[in-house]
A and B are shown apart, each in its own frame.
Chain A
């Protein structure tokens, strides 16, 4: 994220934002971005209003629109009631929102938010999430988060990166479906005679049954998986009823993005990390290559020069000859 926002220069590759290369056309690229860092750095001696105004000035919001823009942003993140207090004395939630306001000011097309809801209370979390969702309608929002339930709620597309390598890009729904390999049901029953295993054996299609936990009210929760993708709920309900097993709850076990994430990370063969020597070797090879290229270029240049010289020499000879003829 630091590279995308132009805080650090990339060592390899390049980042383009709306067509502007971050390292070559830094100014134009940075204008397109609103960045909210994870640590929410703020000038603690200023008030939120002063801070947002300063950010607006830094981002080059024209003087005429500045006041309006500051008001608009303060309204959007709902910090109008503390706009005159010194940031140092604000609560974590307010600070977070002031930081978000700093990113929003100037209406940038791309918003980059690094863990925007960390350290907030549940009410503030839902507020910020709703805000981000509404921002998503008019802006591109790039959000990094470790809270995956948040990601599946807010985001349309997920990128999972593990140890600097891209693992997956997809919508959260697709990712969840991909990992959903088997059809699983969770069923909570009252079954004093422990008939359930025998009953289940009588139902075709069922692969395994496993006790998940015994609940305090005497009921037990089982997980049942089927061999294929058919819905077994009807059959289970019918046969359980016949055998006097009371069903308290019957539901499909949903696979969350978290499961998908773990699955993807674990599946990815963990590559052995390069040792220092290997890295050194690679660097050496690179340098050698570059040197050779340079030398080749030099040789070519020299050749061209020589050719030109030869041509000149020939010309002068010709001229001389001509002169002689005359």
Chain B
């Protein structure tokens, strides 16, 4: 699994995808930070994450769309599946590699917190920031797992990417339709974290979503072996 993580992270940064993702994410974060926090003289760093979480809904597909679809298109899927690695470790390896990219972005975005701290004259609201970061990572994991699952269904990167974005947007707005859809919307589950609460219910829901889609990806890959 370690080999796969290493190689996948490397590929993200050999192709421009990794840079484009981090770059666009930070650019937009800077904009949000200036408009909604800096301009108001606010010290609520975690507030930024409401915007970046919505942004992530659009950009996560950059990382996930090629995960399995491009491998299938190039035929390199053969290399993975005929190696002695199990499908589970392949899927988890790819999942964690995308998570590494998110974590790198996260580290970069801590600079906004540093700016806030400078203005506040010391470290402020540490617990809120921590719960926000944990929530954001859980949200990214849920998004990655979902995008990965979509990517395993098709061999066309574009279709995988567009389908991921559209479905994630749908899940974003579904709670407005009826509150019974709250559970399937990762973004809705995220709402409580930046308020400094560490919600157990939401954490469990997000973890369930992550597990479910990782499992589904494994099942899809396993099934494809039998259906060919």
A59 lies within 8 A of B225 (CB) = no
Which chain A positions have C-beta within 8 A of B15?
A: 45
A276-306 near B? 1/0 per residue, CB < 8 Å: 0000000000000000000000000000000
- Smallest CB-CB separation from B3: which chain A residue? A57
B1-32 near A? 1/0 per residue, CB < 8 Å: 01110110011001100000000000000000
Is there a chain B Cβ closer than 8 Å to A170's Cβ? no
- Smallest CB-CB separation from A41: which chain B residue? B75
B83 lies within 8 A of A59 (CB) = yes
B81 lies within 8 A of A7 (CB) = yes
Is there a chain A Cβ closer than 8 Å to B76's Cβ? yes
Which chain B positions have C-beta within 8 A of A26?
A: 84, 86
**Chain B 66-99 residues near chain A, CB threshold 8 A:** 74-86
Is there a chain B Cβ closer than 8 Å to A156's Cβ? no
B7 lies within 8 A of A54 (CB) = yes
Which chain B positions have C-beta within 8 A of A6?
A: 81-82
Measured between alpha carbons, how far is A74 from B137 in the docked complex, in Å? 41
Which chain B positions have C-beta within 8 A of A43?
A: 7, 11, 74, 76
**Chain B 100-136 residues near chain A, CB threshold 8 A:** none
Number of chain B interface residues as a range: 20 to 34
Is there a chain A Cβ closer than 8 Å to B201's Cβ? no
Measured between alpha carbons, how far is A8 from B226 in the docked complex, in Å? 6
Measured between alpha carbons, how far is A9 from B81 in the docked complex, in Å? 11
**Chain A 29-59 residues near chain B, CB threshold 8 A:** 30-31, 33, 35, 37, 39, 41-46, 50, 54-55, 57-59
Knowing A8-B225, A9-B226, A54-B3, say if A44 contacts B83 (CB, 8 Å). Answer: no
Measured between alpha carbons, how far is A46 from B80 in the docked complex, in Å? 15
Partner of B228, one of A8, A31, A44, A45: A8
A58 lies within 8 A of B76 (CB) = no
Is there a chain B Cβ closer than 8 Å to A5's Cβ? yes
Q: Least Cβ distance of A19 to chain B in Å?
A: 16
Which chain A positions have C-beta within 8 A of B2?
A: 57
Which chain A positions have C-beta within 8 A of B83?
A: 30, 55, 58-59
Which chain B positions have C-beta within 8 A of A102?
A: 79
A1-31 near B? 1/0 per residue, CB < 8 Å: 0100111110000000000000000111011
A58 lies within 8 A of B74 (CB) = no
Q: Least Cβ distance of B206 to chain A in Å?
A: 31
Is there a chain B Cβ closer than 8 Å to A60's Cβ? yes
List residues of B whose CB falls within 8 A of some A CB: 2-4, 6-7, 10-11, 14-15, 74-86, 225-226, 228
List residues of A whose CB falls within 8 A of some B CB: 2, 5-9, 26-28, 30-31, 33, 35, 37, 39, 41-46, 50, 54-55, 57-60, 102
13 chain-A/chain-B pairs, Cβ below 8 angstroms: A2-B228, A7-B78, A7-B81, A9-B225, A30-B82, A35-B78, A35-B82, A41-B77, A43-B76, A55-B83, A57-B6, A57-B7, A58-B83
